[in-house]
A and B are shown apart, each in its own frame.
Chain A
């Protein structure tokens, strides 16, 4: 069985809520997203045609009660691929319209070392 590894990818202060950062870990490009204080790691490859998924617009899940109506739920939890605007759920890596189509996600933890929260370390587990 392949050994899992953990990597420090930055500090909490570097990725405030509502932002994300693309990092290089173990030869892979990964997007680290802070959604309301919870960190998520998403492989930076779109399963469709290989675009850098994490360079896409981050938005809400758009729903509707009927024609002409737009509602925005789960703000900041959806990334839209820069190439064809396919939507992906950041926490799960699943495509919105077809959950079978997904990109890899990694577990993220925060290690508290520093004197302030900003200095706490973000670790991803691969």
Chain B
């Protein structure tokens, strides 16, 4: 019981709030232009200096302070998520995070029409993350940024850094111009499979730059509407993966759905299965129930988790999305709608808690067991 001994020696406010460590699948280190500029090629450094960043985004007022928790800004200035020490104190140490998956910022790269600039930005974000974050704290793992609008260049970047043991997935925005099941993206999935990297779709940049509008009904006026429309966008990607046969073409590919909510998936999966019964002949390459592809290939992260009217509904929906295999905790630190690792979800029975807060992510990302439990 080495851990609890250590804990009792720490002052109350320094003790981790969780007895067993967790894996957090969505932590945003700041990778804005200010941070990554030195890693851009000279041409783009000069252009940005002379003309500005030439990036889309910011169509809506975001939440919190600049989209972040108001208390996540370092005292000496700088952006939230820019200071590793504060992240450690406020989140990693406090909540006993064994591994944290960094998902970065600056998803505007996924919305710009200049493919070379997008690819250069992605390279810069990846280099900055490796040097300033992954090498500084052994708990952290990285996400490969790619220019998803240019799959050929994206695959090059995955091949460049995807073999590193500290890079554990590829990340793109949910905002897109073509749904992610389209064969257009095959070079990306070939590279993901080659390096055994999950393909993570993180919400953002819908309706910005080259991406399609926030909803099929068109552009929405307010951020709250965009947030509430996100399940529809994510659902479109999920259906596209299944019915365009991506999982038949790439049987080992794993996909993570991030930050569009969770429980909406229950009726969505029911609908996919139901519609498939009558429309199977139009896509006969789909060989099993859509929900089975979901269980085999798709993982979902928790934040922002829907509040249910009562516990019974919560339990039923969790079962309906096969949470024991598919759900992985994430906090979204330091963004304004952060989910506390100790209080965002209702109390869970220990085995389910362990699956959601550790084992499902450990399995997906190939992360080792808890250090404190290794020898048990």
Q: Which residues of A approach B to under 8 Å, CB–CB?
A: 59, 62-71, 80, 84-87, 95-98
Contacts and interface: CB of A to CB of B under 8 A. Distances in A.
B285 interface: yes
A66 B277 CA distance: 19
Contacts, number: 39
B278 interface: yes
B370 interface: no
A84 B277 contact: yes
B248 interface: yes
A59 B281 CA distance: 10
Contacts of A71: 284
Contacts of A67: 183, 244-245, 248-249, 285
Of the listed residues B183, B248, B281, B285, the one surrounded by the most CB atoms of chain A closer than 10 A to its CB is: B281
A97 B289 contact: yes
A62 B281 contact: yes
Contact of A64 (B183, B277, B279, B285): B285
Contact of B284 (A70, A84, A98): A70
B285 A66 contact: yes
A66 B248 CA distance: 7
A97 B277 contact: yes
A95 B277 CA distance: 9
A71 B183 CA distance: 21
A65 B278 CA distance: 20
A93 B145 CA distance: 51
Contacts of A86: 277-278
Given A67-B244, A86-B277, A97-B277, 18 more contacts: A59-B281, A63-B284, A64-B285, A65-B285, A66-B245, A67-B183, A67-B248, A67-B285, A68-B285, A69-B285, A70-B284, A85-B281, A87-B281, A95-B277, A96-B280, A97-B276, A97-B280, A97-B289
A63 B248 CA distance: 13
Nearest to A66: B285
A9 B178 CA distance: 56
Interface in B231-288: 244-245, 248-249, 276-281, 284-285
Say which size band chain B's interface belongs to.
10 to 19
Contacts of B277: 84, 86, 95, 97-98
Nearest to B288: A97
Nearest to A67: B245
A18 B249 CA distance: 36
Nearest to A101: B277
A85 B285 contact: no
B80 to A, nearest CB: 43
Q: Lowest 7 A-B CB distances belong to which pairs? A: A67-B245, A64-B284, A85-B278, A64-B285, A62-B281, A84-B278, A62-B284
Nearest to B273: A97
Contacts of B289: 97
Contacts of B279: 85
Contacts of B276: 97
Contacts of A66: 245, 248-249, 285
Nearest to A84: B278
5 contacts: A66-B249, A66-B285, A80-B281, A87-B281, A95-B277
Contacts of A97: 276-277, 280, 289
Contacts of A64: 284-285
Nearest to A48: B277
A73 to B, nearest CB: 10
Contacts of B280: 62, 87, 96-97
Contacts of A62: 280-281, 284
B208 to A, nearest CB: 30
A86 B82 CA distance: 55
Contacts of B281: 59, 62, 80, 85, 87
Nearest to A63: B284
Contacts of B183: 67
B373 to A, nearest CB: 42
A27 to B, nearest CB: 29
A91 to B, nearest CB: 19
